[in-house]
Amino acid sequence: MFDVVAKFLPAGALAAGTAVTLLVGTPKPTPLRAPLTDALPATFYGAAPTPIAIGDDEVAKSGVSDYINRVYMLNADEGISLYIGYHATQQGDKRMHSPTLCLPGSGWTPIGEQVVTIPVANKPVSVNRFILQNGGNRILVYYWFQGRGRLTAGQGDLKLNAMRDALFTHRDEEALVRIIVPLAKGDSTPVASTGLVPDSLAAKLAEAIIEPLNKSLPAPPGA
C-alpha cells in the first residue's frame, strides 16, 4: 500500500492547479531563517525519515523555493509521510496550491473533507482533514498553510491574509504542510506498533512540527 502512495506523492504534492493569485502589493521573496529540515523530528516513533526526491522540472513548475518530502516507515509496510513546501513569494508562477485541487488530479477521489482541531502546545489549532480513494486504496490527509505568524486552514482566509499582507507588509511567503497516512487497515485500526489510529498519528506528527517550523520560517512582520 505504501508503495502506491509513495509513487504518487511527488506529482500529488506539486501538481499544477487553481492557485492563490495576488493582485495587490509588490512582495519580495523572503528567505527562510533556518533549513526546513530543522523542523523535522529526528525520529518519529522510532523511525528515521526517508527522503523522497521530486524531479527538478516539477519543482520548477511548482514555484516552491524549498521543500522537504519524507516518509517515516514504522514497519515494513506502514508509515506516515510529511511534505513541506515553502514559497518565498506567491507572485507570478510562485503561487500556492491547495492539495484539495491537485491530489484529485492525480487519480485520487475525495470521499470526505472537514476541518478538525488538534492540540499544539496546549492550544487548539485547526487543520484540514480529508480522505481520498484511488481504486482499493484510501489515504488520510491532514494539511494546512503556515507563514507570517499564522496557521491557516481555510482557502478563503489564506487568500485574504496573503492579499492584505502583500499590500501592507510587502510579504506573502507561505508554507504548505501536508501529512498522509495510508488507510490499508481502515481508519480505526492502530498503525504499526504506535497504538494510535491514523487520525491520532497524523495529529501527533502535526504537533511535533508546527512549533519547530515557525523557527525555520521568516519571523512574522513587525516581530
Domain span at residue 13 reads: 2-82+89-195
Which pLDDT belongs to residue 24?
53
pLDDT of residue 7: 45
pLDDT at 15: 38
- Pairwise CA distance, residues 64 & 146, whole Å: 14
In a domain, 119, yes or no: yes
pLDDT of residue 97: 64
CA distance 12 to 198: 20
C-alpha cell at 217: 520560517
Q: How far apart are CA 37 and CA 69, in angstroms?
A: 10
The predicted pLDDT at position 88 comes to 94
Count of domains forming the chain? 1
- The verdict on residue 40 lying in a domain is yes
In a domain, 200, yes or no: no
pLDDT value at residue 8: 45
> Is 182 within 8 Å of 5 (Cβ atoms)?
yes
Q: Which pLDDT score is estimated for 18? A: 38
Rounded distance, CA 184 to CA 188, Å?
Answer: 11
Neighbours of 119 (CB within 10 A): 11
**What does each of the 223 residues of the chain score in pLDDT, given as a tens digit?**
556 555 445 444 443 333 444 455 578 899 999 999 998 899 999 999 999 988 888 888 788 999 999 999 999 999 999 999 999 998 766 566 677 666 666 778 888 889 999 999 889 999 999 999 988 899 999 999 999 999 999 877 878 888 888 888 889 999 999 999 999 888 899 999 999 999 999 999 999 999 999 999 999 998 7
Half-sphere exposure of 68 (CA within 13 A, CB side): 22
Q: Give domain status of residue 78, yes or no.
A: yes
Residue 8 counted as domain residue: yes
pLDDT computed for residue 1 by the predictor: 57
Instruction: Tell me the C-alpha distance between 36 and 23, whole Å.
Output: 28
